[in-house]
Amino acid sequence: MKKGYVFAWIVLVAANGQISAEPSTQVAWTPETLRFVKNGDAERGKELAQACEACHAATPENAESEFPYLQGQSATYLYKQLHDYKSGSRSNEIMVGISAGLSDQDMADVSAWYSRQPLPPAKKADEVPDTIRKLVDRGDGTRIVAPCAVCHGSAGQGQTMDTPVLAAQKAAYLEQTMLAYKSEARRNDIYRRMRLIVQQLNDEEIRQLARYYAGLER
- How buried is 110 (Cβ within 10 angstroms: 0-12 exposed, 13-18 middle, 19+ buried)? buried
User: Domain 31-115 maps to which CATH number in 1.10.760.10, 1.20.1110.10, 3.40.1280.10, 1.10.620.20?
Assistant: 1.10.760.10
Contact 145, 202 (CB under 8 A): no
What pLDDT, on the 0 to 100 scale, is given for residue 24? 84
Q: How big is the CA angle at 36 (ends 32 and 39), to the nearest 5 degrees?
A: 135
Contacts for 111 with CB less than 8 Å, ≥ 6 apart: 37, 40, 45, 75, 76, 78, 79, 82
Q: Where are the domains of the chain?
A: 3-10+122-214, 31-115
pTM over 0.75: yes
* CATH architecture for residues 3-10+122-214: Orthogonal Bundle (1.10)
- Residues listed for the chain: 218
* pLDDT tens column, 167-204: 999 999 999 999 999 999 999 998 899 999 999 999 99
Q: Which residues pair with 22 in a beta bridge?
A: none
What pLDDT, on the 0 to 100 scale, is given for residue 9? 46
Kindly write down the DSSP assignment for every residue of 111-146, as one continuous string: HHHHHTSPPPPP---SPPPHHHHHHHHT-BGGGTB-
Contact 119, 157 (CB under 8 A): no
Q: Note the Cα 160 to chain centre separation in Å.
A: 12
Separation between Cα atoms, residue 83 and residue 187, nearest integer Å: 14
What pLDDT, on the 0 to 100 scale, is given for residue 70? 97
Extract the residue ranges of the chain whose pLDDT is less than 70: 1-22
What pLDDT, on the 0 to 100 scale, is given for residue 6? 46
Note whether 3-10+122-214 and 31-115 share their fold: yes
Helix axes 75-87, 31-38, angle to 10 degrees: 110
Neighbours of 60 (CB within 10 A): 9
